[in-house]
A and B are shown apart, each in its own frame.
Chain A
């Protein structure tokens, strides 16, 4: 089965009102080229589920979002995501705010086909106060109450990987695959952008096969987009683009997202990359040191 498609074809599979899960974590390995393709589309009223960064901020700023399901939205070295902040402070979006681990449980419940997973996480906090749909239940086995974290079923998952073959075997070479495996498994349709398309024989090396975190039946479409995580990182290939994020952050104070889009977005990914200095420049961005 050949699952290769273009970014535009990938985004054409998303419809208004869908729930879209986005892989990565904060400023790390986000499928930003696919996000940019959504920015260029007419899509609207999306519900976004993410360990959020600029992916969430940009989608909010461009009016694509009805609701965000999140535990945080942050650029890390710039702690507060400027456009998510604007969206919240103007009351423009609905939210379901949960703990990071609750989100993982919700994705697992969706992946496993169970309606909820019990947890003590969230008890005693405003996570419950502000999410009236989150139910607290009694246990059949003890006398405590438990949060019934509901399945976070995704219509579509968008993920960026290092390499993939045409059949949808995806490799994440970097030090962490984050929760991408659960985002992929929680979705009806998983679309993966990758730095490089490879032959299936690439995965014969067992060390590489161990960097494949879900089986190819989970992957529905593969889009080759080298540099497609920019301005987020794709460790070990490149780090996140600190000057670009600073400019993005500054645009929220002056010019707004329209000015940022005008300057960078372009009609397609080739134009975008040209405007940010080209693929070689992206590939040369150093990895962050913590």
Chain B
């Protein structure tokens, strides 16, 4: 299995996203958005077949659905009814790993999906709301995907609204430990990170081909822990690219990162 030489940045991120699900075992993998969903699907199709996945509606599948229109002859591989109410039973049991794209992420790994600026009574920009982030963040493992790594996402100071619990000692609930929080991977268009630095600091794990450390530091609104040895993010293999293409026959992945750049910077 040799690394491909021609692949897009989106495909590189899909493979990095898949890696995040590698050691999950038998958990519900929820990838919200094209790249996280393809990452989870690729992991399930290759090195972690024990993963569970839904059809984004009400059924759990034994095989991930390809994205978009699948034709009239397609039969999806239902294995369990999994309506929205039942999702909460799964969330609260902890047997889930979600990968989502919050609007803001701060140095504690707290995220914001709710509102920006202004006051809480009258925000400047109202977004989705807290959705399931509070529950996800305290009940099970989470990863984040950020298609445009910049300091408006990775903010200086705390998020305008904290939708999910992170590694903030000032907000630690009584009887809980910061180690109970599990933010597994943060994947961006520049790099892969986790919160494994000193005192749960955001830590650089790998740089995408051609990206320099400085670019990551310059585009993050707070300090990032940089280990002595930072490898290059693993390129997709030809086999992985073929599986990704089959999972995404309408090439929705081409529209997820601005201008759909190649994975290897020119």
Contact = CB atoms under 8 A, between A and B. Distances in A.
Given A91-B122, A144-B176, A176-B83, A120 B58 contact: no
How big is the A interface, by class? Answer: 35 or more
Contacts of B58: 174-176
B165 A123 contact: yes
A240 interface: no
A130 B120 contact: yes
Interface in A98-140: 98-102, 104, 119-127, 129-130, 136, 138
Nearest to A51: B84
Contact of B83 (A70, A121, A138, A177): A177
A71 B114 CA distance: 9
B130 A71 contact: yes
B247 interface: no
B154 to A, nearest CB: 19
B68 A89 contact: no
Given A74-B128, A101-B132, A145-B174, A125 B162 contact: yes
Contact of A104 (B55, B88, B173): B88
Contacts of A91: 119, 121-122
Contacts of A25: 84
A99 B87 CA distance: 13
Contacts of B207: none
B115 interface: yes
Given A72-B129, A178-B84, A126 B162 contact: yes
Contact of B126 (A88, A121, A123, A124): A88
B175 interface: yes
Contacts of A122: 134-135
Contact of B130 (A74, A90, A97, A120): A97
Main secondary structure of the interface of B (DSSP, over half): loop
Contact of A124 (B70, B122, B124, B168): B168
Contacts of B91: 101
A89 B84 contact: no
Contacts of B68: 289
A20 B174 CA distance: 35
A100 B88 contact: yes
Contacts of B70: 289
Contacts of B161: 126, 130
Contacts of B114: 97, 126
17 contacts: A70-B129, A72-B130, A89-B123, A90-B122, A99-B130, A99-B133, A120-B138, A120-B173, A121-B134, A124-B138, A125-B130, A125-B171, A126-B120, A144-B174, A145-B173, A176-B58, A289-B69
Interface of A: 25, 51, 70-74, 79-80, 84-85, 88-91, 97-102, 104, 119-127, 129-130, 136, 138, 142-145, 174-179, 181-182, 289-290
Interface of B: 55-59, 65, 68-70, 81, 83-85, 88, 91-92, 110, 114-115, 118-135, 137-139, 161-166, 168, 171-176
